[in-house]
Structure 1
Amino acid sequence: MEGILNAQVRMEKPKVSRREGFIPGVIYGKDLENIFVKFEKTKLIGLLKEKGEKSRISFLLNNKKQEGIIKDVARDDSTNEIIHIDIQAVKGTEVVKWTVPVNFTGKELLNGRGLYLQVYSNEIEVEGESSLIPNSVEIEVSKMEFGQEIKIKDLKLTGEIRILKDLDTVIGVIANS
């Protein structure tokens, strides 16, 4: 099953899991007690590279397919290696709060015009049905002009998703390089 992580229930300490080639984690959710798990390191890293560290994922737990959102990826301060992952198990219609990455596309075309994008925030916090929240939000900046501000209200999200910050908050501005 491609793209589905196998979550193994973990009884040992996190340090032991890491030594054995796993990344320890915890799965929690509404009406669910915390479940301490471990994931195969190479598969988890591959999935995170493909989907991102704030994405929706599918996982198997006790041979049952479940959905979840990655809430936190903890890294070692000195090596930057992943040392722990937190996943919130969700059902499709469950309302959740989630931090979604903002991807600014077309930045390289600004450089050719002597401009660059100054980013103030590359993520936004939203609330809505878990199945409707995207893994990321994209905004095209290549045609923007010097001094133009990018505000949260410029992001395209469906009406069912509520943004939990002032819509006039500036998340980026086009500047001279």
Structure 2
Amino acid sequence: MSKITTIEASARAKAGKGAARATRREGLVPGVVYGGKQESTLIALDPRLVVKAIQTSGWRSRVYDIQIEGGKTERALVRDVQLHPVKDSPVHIDFLRLAAGSRVHVEVAVHFVGEDKSPGIKRGGMLNVVRHTVDVEVAAENIPEFFTVDLSKLDINDNVRWDDVQGTEGATPVSHEANFVVASIAAPIVEAAPAEGAAAS
């Protein structure tokens, strides 16, 4: 289960571009919590909290408890963050409400361990990461913080497939490819020796 991060927000009364602009003039980021067969909740957040959230590793699968003034709490995932085209600062954030018993589509980061013990890497092989994240469907109450790949026994030309990944219980990959490759150990690149007489030209 992903760690649950608490984030504070204030309520917004009105929707629409004008109301969103007014929220930004107050120095806040307008946002919305939607889904779960409930009405959307309009919120506003401190931009520093939004920046911190999207700069955290694995933020697409991080579960948030959004504490809204007045005592309401929404459990949700960050679904989208719109950034200013010039300043690169957040201008809007969308959260997907997590309803108990539902399944959600989420992007989960892959962590690699045991690289220092891999026989292939010790012999000069290179780790070739095919997927840094994997799109999966998973129960809303059981979203993994990350998946783990153990490289400690991999030799040159060995690969790790989905079935080898740890922490995937209950997660169904969205990919249409069965048991796809997540990473491999590529052979070291050997530079060709210069042709005889080439240096004499």
Short-chain TM bin? 0.7 to 0.9
Assess, with a 3 A threshold, how the Cα gap between structure 1 residues 51 and 118 changes in structure 2: closer, same or farther. Answer: closer
Quote the residue 1:56 is aligned against.
63
User: What displacement does 1:87 show?
Assistant: 1.0
Larger Rg: 2
Residues 1:173 and 2:184 are matched in the alignment: yes
Kindly state the Cα deviation for residue 15 of structure 1 after the two structures are TM-superposed.
4.6
Which residue is equivalent to 2:39? 33
Q: 1:8, CA displacement in angstroms?
A: 2.0
TM-score (norm 2): 0.70
The aligned runs of 1:24-173 (5 Å cut-off) are: 24-50=30-56, 52-54=58-60, 55-61=62-68, 62-76=70-84, 79-107=87-115, 113-165=123-175, 166-173=177-184
Residue 65 (structure 1) shift: 1.9
Q: Are 2:36 and 2:99, in contact at CA under 8 Å, matched by a contact in 1?
A: no
Q: What whole-Å deviation, never above 9, does each CA across 1:77-136 have from its counterpart, x for those lacking one? A: 555443432211113332222221222234566666533322222221222311112122
For the 8 Å contact 1:53–1:73, the answer to whether it is kept is no
Unaligned runs of 5+ in 1: none
For structure 1, which segment, 12-21 or 61-70, has the greater mean C-alpha deviation from structure 2 after superposition? 12-21
Q: Which consecutive unaligned segments of at least 5 residues does structure 2 have?
A: 190-201
* Counterpart residue identity of residue 131, structure 1: E
More strand by share: 1
- Partner SS state of residue 45, structure 2: strand
Change (3 A) 1:148 1:13: farther
The root-mean-square deviation of aligned C-alpha atoms, in Å, is 3.0
CA–CA separation in structure 1 for the residues paired with 2:66 and 2:32: 12
Q: Is the 8 A contact 1:3 1:47 kept in 2?
A: no
C-alpha contact 1:25 1:37 (8 A) present in aligned 2: yes
Separation in 2 of the partners of 1:148 and 1:79? 44
Aligned length: 176
> What TM-score does the superposition give when structure 1 sets the normalisation length?
0.78
Identity %: 22
CA–CA distance in 1 between the matches of 2:85 and 2:184? 30
Amino acid across the alignment from 2:110: V
CA apart distance, 1:43: 2.6
CA distance in 2, matches of 1:118, 1:84: 35
